[in-house]
Each structure stands twice: as C-alpha cells, then as structure tokens.
A and B are shown apart, each in its own frame.
Chain A
C-alpha cells in the first residue's frame, strides 16, 4: 500500500466542544480511509459545502472541495456531476442552508435523481449566526429572532424528499456514530440522489442530546416499499413527542434514463466536430 496523505488538513478546528459536526466528519473520514484501503483514488471525491458551522468541514477534510455559498450546495454539486459524472460528489449542508435558503434546489435535485449524496447537518438551529430558528425547529422554539417562541410548525424534510421523488432517503444521528457511518456509506454507493438527514447536536444553541437519547430507534432498512417508507418518515413530525426512527427508509434504483439531466449523452472532447456542425447550421440558415 502506498503512503496516503492525511485526510485532515492543518486548518484549526473551531467547532465547539461537544458539537455533532465532529461525528459527521469522523464518519466521512472513516469512509474515505476505507476507500484508501481499497486503493480507491480519492481525487475522484469532491465535497461541496454551504455556509454555516457545518460547512467548515470543507476546510478540515483534505479532499477536493468547493466551499460554496449559503443554501447552494446542490446546484454547485449538480454542475460538477453534469460536467464529470465520474466524480463522487458529497454535499454537506446545514438545515438553514438546505431547508430555508436553498429549499428549491432540494426538491429539484430529488426530482432529477442526480447522482450525488446530500448530508444535512440538521442541528435545528442556525449555528453560525448564533441561534435563530430553522425550518425544522419545533413550535415554541425561542431563538434570537423569535424571543417569544415560533408559532409555525416545522417541516418534515424526509417527507418532502420522498414526495419529491428521492431514491435514497435516510436519517441518522450524530449520537450513533456506527449507524451514521453505515448509512453514509450506503448513501455514497447509491446510484442516484441520496439524501441523509443527520440529527446533529449543537452543543451551544440547541443541545437535544437527552431528548434524542430517549427517543431514537434504529429500524430495519427498507428498500422499495413506499408504504413502509411513508410510515417511517411520518413516525415523527419534528414537533410532537414520538419515537424517532433512524435508518434507510427508502431505496430504489431507477433504471439509467438518458433523458435525465446528468446522464445526457455528452460528446465532449475529441468526438465532437464543432466546425462541421457550425458549417451545417450556417448552410441551413441561408
């Protein structure tokens, strides 16, 4: 085995002690280490992050990265996949990032079944901007922008992705590192749009460790049974008190469809003869 470079950069880590982001980084690092062990070329992996505490992972992992802007991991990642479908693209997004600022892209990426993996670091709070509510914060959440508590009900992101046509829908939790690694690794090997909602502890603004500890429940993986998927997804609505299932709730392999974006016949490079094509178009325009 050849000497492998470290997977961690020398950037100073500035996550708070006890932050769930460490667990996500460790899981991804462990998966990448496994890939190195299989002599797989990590230069094919690209990490795309949004902006928020979660996004610092782009600085910390020593792999190709596109540290993008708030809410826009998915379009950037889609562009990368369209340009080079051989690349394995992982989006690390925040809940504010993915479910508020960039929600439109989530629905469309699921609809497109673009082949990439989304990891949402859902701490159910805006960490980096110091503690405002997000789309998954429960009713009554008191954040700095909602001091008397929010009245709106949270969205259920898993239901949203399932309804949008997502072909890999899973939930894990930073308090269950082994589960997290297994689910992320399955997501990475899924051909198509893989969505992993990770309940992430924010030690500083929304420490739900005790709450999750009592409620999370690892369930059996489900493959193509949509009814089973819906019952997993709807078991907990991010608001009321209920058991919180963790696992792969739905997985479906769509047949490769060349009409789907990302799989269009791409004639880049030597095969194309643009000059003749232009000459033919000009001829038609006389």
Chain B
C-alpha cells in the first residue's frame, strides 16, 4: 500500500480495487463527507460537487440523513464522472470526517488508497488530520464554518486550484462569505496536496447541479404551471420551498394549506377556473388526497401530483427512499378512471417528463402522477443543455366547444372541450356525481353507461398519445438475451450494471397507461428477465406480469438506501451466474 502523503493519481491502484472486488473507475472520483446533523453536511457535499463540476466532471450526489434536526449522523456521497451516472460506488477515494462517528460508520467504504481526512479535535485515526478548531479560532469564525474548513483542506488535498475553491465559495455561501473565504484560505494554505484529481478528459464548461425536486419544479414551470400547492412532507418539502422561493420570477402562486385534503381540492378548484396546478406529497399525504384524486377522475379535471416515495408503511423511514407506491398510484382512488403516471430516473427526465405530464394532463383532462423517490428528489445531478429539452409531443386537435355548452359532451375521443369560467356564453357545471353531458347529476342507467364509456374512450386516446412518445428507455448490450427491468431512480444504477455485465436494461418511464407494445418490443426475445426494485414484493414485476411478461428473478432492496453500483453488480452476477 502506498503512502497517502506522496503525490499520486487517485483511483489508480488497480490491485487494491481488485482486492476489494470493486469496479475500476479510472477517470472518476468519489468523496464521502460525514458528520452530525447541523454540521452542514449537505452544503459541504454540494461544495465538493461544484469543485468537480469546475474540473469538467458530471456529478451524482446522494445525501443520507435521519429524521432529526441536530445530532445523528449525516453524510453525502459525491461521485464525479466524465459521463453522467445515477448511482454511488461502494468505496470512496476521499473520506472527510467531521466527527469520529463518520470514521466508525464508514469503515467499509474505505479502500487502501482512500484518503481519509478527519477533523483533528473530533476524530482519531484519520490518515490526514485537519486542525479545524485551530483554523476557526485563528480566523475568529464560529464552529458553523467547520464544514467550509474541511472542504478547503480537501480541495488542497485533491489538488483543486485555489481560484476554483474561492469561486465556489463566493457563488454558494451567501452568509458571511468573506469570513468563509478567510477560513478556507487558512485551511487551504495549511493543508498539503495528497492525491490530485486531474481535470476530466475533454473538460466542458461547468454544468449546473439540480436536485430532482428542482428539476420537477422547473419542468412544471416551463410548461406553464400557475399554482403549486403542498403540505410539507419529505421528500417533496424542498420542492415546496424551492418554488416558494422562486414564486415571483416563475410567476407562480405557492400555497401551503391546512392539510393534503385541502391541497388537492384547492388544485382542482384552481384548474376548474383555468389555472394549471400541481401538488407535492409523499405516500401518507397521498393517502389523504385519494378522495380528491377520484374527484379529478370523475369531474375530469387535470391535476399534477408529485409523489415522492419514502419508506413506509406509515411514518416509516421518513428520510429514506423506497419504490413501494407503484401499485398504490396506479390504483389510487375509488372507481375507474384514466390517469397518467410517469417515473423519471434522473433530473433530465424529471424536467422533461414533468413538463410533458402537465401538458398531457391538461390536454386529456386527467390526473397525472410524477412518481419519484427520496433518492431523486433530494439527490443532485449535473444538468446539461440536452437534459432540458422538450419531448416530441403533438397536442391533439379539438373541434372546440359547442353551444349551448355541455361540459361533458359525449365526444368520440372522450375529451370533451373544457371551458373555464367566466365565459359569458357558457354555464360550466362540473360534478362528482355521475352526470349528464351538461354536468347535472343523473343516476339514469343509460347516462351512467354513456359517461363510463366516454371516460374509457378518453383513456384510450391517452394511451394512444402515450404510445407515440419515447416511453421506454433501453441501455446495455442490445445483443444480450438477459435483461434487467426497473423503474424510476433504479434506472441509473441498473444502466451502469447492464453496461458493466454486458446485459440489457429496459425501463418504462411511463407506467400508466402502460406502454405495453413498446415494452414487449424490447422484452420479447429475452430469455431471462430480472426485476430490480426498492420494495419487498416486486410491484414492477406484478405490473409486467399483468401485461403478460414473465419475470424470472427479482432483486429487492428494502432498507431505504439506494444500491451501490458494486453491490448490485454482485447481486445480478449471482443471479446470472
């Protein structure tokens, strides 16, 4: 093993990697920073990420924290790669410990070449000891700047030029910026270069870093969102905070009402009056919304539900991830009605599909769910110009309303023209009861049948347009007859695993209406289908089975933490032999 205090390139120790059973990542770097809640771990992680952005890397940042405000253990893992990834590695190249607990908990992430840096007054045994307290005392800065100090020492250890560090701090620490700069300079000057990180090959200009929540918010805004309504609940609280902060420039009304029941009904009221509304929640909040979700189905009012999954049932693991609500959102609400469900895997997809879901929900007058999870909502990804594009979608042509106006005109494609009050030519009646074409309650057998059929036809029209979209993402080796299937954030790790093992990965982005033909086109011909899901019961496998696709093996993860790349490679290798 080499002496960490000599200059060398990171991640080049192939032998050590091989011993760890890892995958060789020659031109990438992973950093873990950990400490107590309140130590500013998330912002420190984001600073580290932005240093690498400026060295030309693409970033994936995973943030792990328990449900408490002070104390407890928080950590962030930054993985910087030349090409965008969506998963962290099992072992890291740098481990930055703001406390002893970080060293204790993350022994398994340390490989022989890992540069372990510890805050000298709060940890023992790190290879590089960082005298955070002394630096803060010398500058006269408070302990809150311990994270800045550690990041600066790291920047020096990783050979990041001072100008880059200074620029990142200037841009991203808005409170007491000059004091932070002073702390950083002191720490940077005192530290030594240990394991310099080269610029990424073919380095491009640095890219912005977005969380999944932010990407969803921007996608919705780009599509003309008018109102965002939510009751705080991890992992979508930060979507509420983000849109509230930018409400004025984005032209939004952002409302935090008394509970989730009010949330969804306010959204429906707003949509009736012609304004595009979205709501954000997690499983527990969505439970409260389901009666309103059904009302959206019956009254044919568009609404977007951003459903950030976290580990349940009930309060569960509030700050940890899960993929346990797939069957819930597909079936939520009483009665039968068409809905759109999209499950993006990364910030690019989150932006594009949120934007499109809003348009489709309005064009087809259906509720739509953007099914995400904690890993995506609160994780950060680099976001390039290609990520923020419009998907090809052709708005259906409508013959327009007839007068006297009939809100639920029984029309061939099922999509009755929707006039929003006030309109001097139309009395607009929407109704939760079964109703006639004018929207007046009717329990007549013929009328009830007609309206059920109208809604079913609307669902068919929706399925048709969904069928014309790029609903299925495929990666890996097209020649392989072994395929992974997954949805949502599992997409990132599964793609990498498939590429590494030379197998395929097939992932529907739209889950309702299920893009059956597109999925079959990719799956038929495979001899082994392996589902990878963050749930215990194989919900995606059930869905595929319902569409006549046999799933041969299932891999589950149920502890709320995402798969590390190597861990999933081992699991899949175990299955395919």
| Interface of A toward B, CB cutoff 8 Å | 5, 9, 11, 41, 43-44, 46, 48, 51, 56, 58-59, 62-69, 72, 74-84, 86-87, 104-105, 107-108, 261, 264-268, 271-272, 274-278, 280-286
Q: How far is the CA of A174 from the CA of B373 in the complex (A)?
A: 52
Q: Does B206 sit at the interface, judged by CB under 8 A?
A: yes
Q: How far is the CA of A69 from the CA of B229 in the complex (A)?
A: 19
Q: How far is the CA of A77 from the CA of B273 in the complex (A)?
A: 10
With a cutoff of 8 Å between Cβ atoms, the chain B residues found around residue A43 in the complex are 421-424, 426-427
With a cutoff of 8 Å between Cβ atoms, the chain B residues found around residue A276 in the complex are 249
Q: How far is the CA of A72 from the CA of B262 in the complex (A)?
A: 8
Given known contacts A78-B266, A274-B221, is B273 in contact with A87 (CB within 8 Å)? yes
Q: Does B53 sit at the interface, judged by CB under 8 A?
A: yes
> Does the CB pair B255–A261 fall under 8 Å?
yes
With a cutoff of 8 Å between Cβ atoms, the chain A residues found around residue B250 in the complex are 272, 274, 277-278
**CB of B209 to closest CB in A, whole Å:** 5
> Does the CB pair B246–A277 fall under 8 Å?
yes
Q: How far is the CA of A278 from the CA of B250 in the complex (A)?
A: 8
Contact string, B428-459, partner A, CB cutoff 8 A, digits 1/0? 11111101001111000000000000000000
**CB of B329 to closest CB in A, whole Å:** 20
Residue of B nearest to A50 (CB): B432
> Does the CB pair B222–A76 fall under 8 Å?
no
> Does the CB pair B251–A66 fall under 8 Å?
no
Given known contacts A108-B258, A285-B208, is B266 in contact with A82 (CB within 8 Å)? yes
> Which of B251, B273, B433, B440 sits near A272, CB closer than 8 Å?
B251
> Does the CB pair B251–A68 fall under 8 Å?
no
**CB of B377 to closest CB in A, whole Å:** 16
Q: How far is the CA of A147 from the CA of B441 in the complex (A)?
A: 32
> Which of A77, A78, A285 sits near B210, CB closer than 8 Å?
A285
> Does the CB pair B426–A105 fall under 8 Å?
no
Contact string, B242-280, partner A, CB cutoff 8 A, digits 1/0? 000011111111010111011101111111111101000
With a cutoff of 8 Å between Cβ atoms, the chain B residues found around residue A275 in the complex are 222
Q: B residues 357-396 with Cβ under 8 Å of A?
A: 383, 388
**CB of A73 to closest CB in B, whole Å:** 9
Q: How far is the CA of A76 from the CA of B299 in the complex (A)?
A: 13
**CB of A21 to closest CB in B, whole Å:** 15
With a cutoff of 8 Å between Cβ atoms, the chain B residues found around residue A59 in the complex are 429, 431, 440-441
Given known contacts A56-B441, A264-B253, A286-B171, is B262 in contact with A104 (CB within 8 Å)? yes
Q: How far is the CA of A9 from the CA of B436 in the complex (A)?
A: 13
- Name the 9 nearest CB pairs between A and B, nearest first: A79-B269, A272-B251, A75-B265, A79-B266, A285-B208, A83-B273, A267-B251, A277-B249, A83-B275
With a cutoff of 8 Å between Cβ atoms, the chain B residues found around residue A63 in the complex are 427
**CB of B483 to closest CB in A, whole Å:** 35
With a cutoff of 8 Å between Cβ atoms, the chain A residues found around residue B272 in the complex are 46, 66, 76, 79-80, 83
Q: Does B214 sit at the interface, judged by CB under 8 A?
A: yes
Q: How far is the CA of A90 from the CA of B431 in the complex (A)?
A: 16
**CB of B298 to closest CB in A, whole Å:** 9
Residue of A nearest to B385 (CB): A282
**CB of A94 to closest CB in B, whole Å:** 14
With a cutoff of 8 Å between Cβ atoms, the chain A residues found around residue B207 in the complex are 286
> Does the CB pair A79–B422 fall under 8 Å?
no
Contact string, B192-214, partner A, CB cutoff 8 A, digits 1/0? 00000000000000111110001
Q: Does B295 sit at the interface, judged by CB under 8 A?
A: yes
With a cutoff of 8 Å between Cβ atoms, the chain A residues found around residue B214 in the complex are 281, 285
| Interface of B toward A, CB cutoff 8 Å | 50, 53, 171, 206-210, 214, 218, 221-222, 224, 226-227, 229, 246-253, 255, 257-259, 261-263, 265-275, 277, 291-292, 295, 299, 383, 388, 421-424, 426-433, 435, 438-441
With a cutoff of 8 Å between Cβ atoms, the chain B residues found around residue A65 in the complex are 428-431, 439
> Does the CB pair B221–A277 fall under 8 Å?
yes
**CB of B409 to closest CB in A, whole Å:** 17
Given known contacts A11-B441, A72-B292, A265-B248, is B257 in contact with A77 (CB within 8 Å)? no
Residue of B nearest to A267 (CB): B251
Q: How far is the CA of A104 from the CA of B263 in the complex (A)?
A: 12
With a cutoff of 8 Å between Cβ atoms, the chain A residues found around residue B439 in the complex are 65, 67
Q: How far is the CA of A107 from the CA of B146 in the complex (A)?
A: 45
With a cutoff of 8 Å between Cβ atoms, the chain A residues found around residue B429 in the complex are 58-59, 64-65, 67
> Does the CB pair A69–B432 fall under 8 Å?
yes
Q: How far is the CA of A266 from the CA of B207 in the complex (A)?
A: 31
Q: How far is the CA of A59 from the CA of B438 in the complex (A)?
A: 10
Q: How far is the CA of A67 from the CA of B171 in the complex (A)?
A: 51
Among B221, B224, B246, B257, chain A packs the most CB atoms within 10 A around the CB of B257
Q: How far is the CA of A286 from the CA of B207 in the complex (A)?
A: 5
Q: How far is the CA of A282 from the CA of B217 in the complex (A)?
A: 12
> Which of B249, B259, B422, B441 sits near A87, CB closer than 8 Å?
B422
Given known contacts A43-B426, A79-B270, A268-B251, is B226 in contact with A286 (CB within 8 Å)? no
> Does the CB pair B268–A268 fall under 8 Å?
no
> Does the CB pair B430–A108 fall under 8 Å?
no
Residue of A nearest to B274 (CB): A83
With a cutoff of 8 Å between Cβ atoms, the chain B residues found around residue A68 in the complex are 265, 268, 295, 432
Q: How far is the CA of A284 from the CA of B272 in the complex (A)?
A: 35
With a cutoff of 8 Å between Cβ atoms, the chain A residues found around residue B277 in the complex are 79, 83
Among B53, B222, B271, B421, chain A packs the most CB atoms within 10 A around the CB of B421
> Does the CB pair B295–A69 fall under 8 Å?
yes
29 A-B pairs whose Cβ atoms sit less than 8 Å apart in the complex: A43-B423, A58-B429, A59-B441, A65-B428, A66-B269, A67-B435, A67-B439, A72-B292, A76-B269, A78-B266, A79-B271, A79-B273, A80-B273, A83-B270, A83-B271, A83-B272, A84-B422, A87-B422, A266-B251, A268-B226, A272-B249, A274-B222, A278-B221, A278-B250, A281-B218, A281-B246, A282-B210, A282-B383, A286-B207
Q: How far is the CA of A123 from the CA of B266 in the complex (A)?
A: 27
> Does the CB pair A271–B255 fall under 8 Å?
no
Q: How far is the CA of A272 from the CA of B272 in the complex (A)?
A: 22
**CB of B93 to closest CB in A, whole Å:** 23
Q: How far is the CA of A234 from the CA of B394 in the complex (A)?
A: 61
With a cutoff of 8 Å between Cβ atoms, the chain B residues found around residue A285 in the complex are 208-210, 214, 383
Q: Add 4 more A-B contacts to A68-B432, A264-B247 (CB < 8 A).
A: A58-B429, A66-B299, A67-B431, A83-B277
Q: How far is the CA of A43 from the CA of B422 in the complex (A)?
A: 5
With a cutoff of 8 Å between Cβ atoms, the chain A residues found around residue B262 in the complex are 74-75, 78, 104-105, 108
Q: How far is the CA of A281 from the CA of B273 in the complex (A)?
A: 29
**CB of B307 to closest CB in A, whole Å:** 19
Residue of B nearest to A78 (CB): B266
With a cutoff of 8 Å between Cβ atoms, the chain A residues found around residue B253 in the complex are 82, 261, 264, 266
> Does the CB pair A80–B269 fall under 8 Å?
yes
Given known contacts A11-B441, A278-B222, A286-B171, is B274 in contact with A104 (CB within 8 Å)? no
Q: How far is the CA of A280 from the CA of B292 in the complex (A)?
A: 35
Among B267, B295, B424, B440, chain A packs the most CB atoms within 10 A around the CB of B440
Q: How far is the CA of A104 from the CA of B265 in the complex (A)?
A: 13
> Which of B257, B265, B421 sits near A46, CB closer than 8 Å?
B421
Q: How far is the CA of A107 from the CA of B208 in the complex (A)?
A: 43
> Does the CB pair A9–B440 fall under 8 Å?
yes
